[in-house]
Chains A and B, each alone.
Chain A
C-alpha cells in the first residue's frame, strides 16, 4: 500500500498487535503500580521510612518494566502510523484499565463509567474502521 492511498497517510495496514501490546502493557503497568501503592506504608509516618525499600518491591519493578515495554511498543506503532491515529487508537487503554481494575483489583465500574468506556470504544472503532476495511480489501 502506498502512503498516499491510505487514510490520513498511514504507511501500511493497521498494526493491531502493536497497538494492543502497547495498551495492554500500559494497563499491566497501572495495575502493578496500584498494587505496589496499596502495599506501601503511609509515608507521612516517621516509622514507615524504614520500610521505604518497598519502593523497590516486585510490583514497582514489574510496573516500571511494563511501562518501558509500552514505550517500546509505542515507538513501533509511531513508525507505521500517523501520530493522530496512533495516539487515539492507544486510547483503548482507557477501556482495558477499568476492566483490569475490575478483574484484578476488585474495583466496581458504575453504569455511568461503563457508558463512558463504551463511547471511548466506539470512538476507537470509528478511527480504526477505514484501516480494517483496507486490510480486508488487500
Chain B
C-alpha cells in the first residue's frame, strides 16, 4: 500500500472525528439557555457535511482494499476520538476512560483479525 493510501485513511478518520466534534458542539449549543437557533445550526451542518465526506471516503477505501485489511484502521477511531475530544472540546480523560478505550481498541482489532 502506498503512502497515499495511509494519508486517505487518516483523512477519513479526521473527517469522522471532526464531524462528531461538530455534532457534539451543536448539541452543547442547543442545551445553552437563550441561545438562538442559528448558533447550533452552523456546527450541525458542518458535522453532517464532514460525516458525509467520511462516508464517501470510507466507501471508496472499501472498494480499493479488503474489509479485513481496512477494519483495524476503523478500530483505531476510539483513540482518535479520545485525542480529538480532549483537544477540541476540552473533555477530561480519566484512567477509567483510557483503560476502557484501550480494551475496546484491542477487542476490535481481534474481531478484525478473525475475519
A residues whose Cβ falls under 8 Å from a Cβ of B? 7-9, 11, 75, 78-79, 82-88, 91, 94, 98, 110, 112-113, 115-127, 129-130
Q: Would A84 and B114 be within 8 Å (CB), given that A9-B92, A119-B103, A129-B96 are in contact?
A: no
Q: Which of chain A's residues have a CB closer than 8 A to the CB of B111?
A: 94, 98, 113, 116-117, 120
Q: Say whether B45 faces chain A, with CB atoms less than 8 Å apart.
A: no
A-B contact count (CB 8 A): 114
Residue in contact with B93 in the complex, picked from A8, A78, A124, A125, CB distance below 8 Å: A8
User: Could you list 21 examples of A-B contacts with CB < 8 Å?
Assistant: A8-B92, A8-B97, A78-B24, A82-B24, A82-B85, A82-B91, A88-B97, A88-B104, A91-B78, A98-B111, A112-B113, A112-B114, A113-B110, A116-B112, A119-B106, A119-B110, A122-B107, A123-B105, A123-B106, A123-B107, A124-B104
CB-based contact B107/A117 at 8 Å: yes
Known: A94-B104, A120-B104, A127-B101. 15 other contacts (CB 8 A): A75-B27, A78-B27, A79-B27, A88-B78, A88-B97, A88-B104, A91-B78, A112-B110, A112-B114, A113-B111, A116-B108, A116-B111, A116-B112, A119-B110, A123-B104
B109 CB within 8 Å of chain A: yes
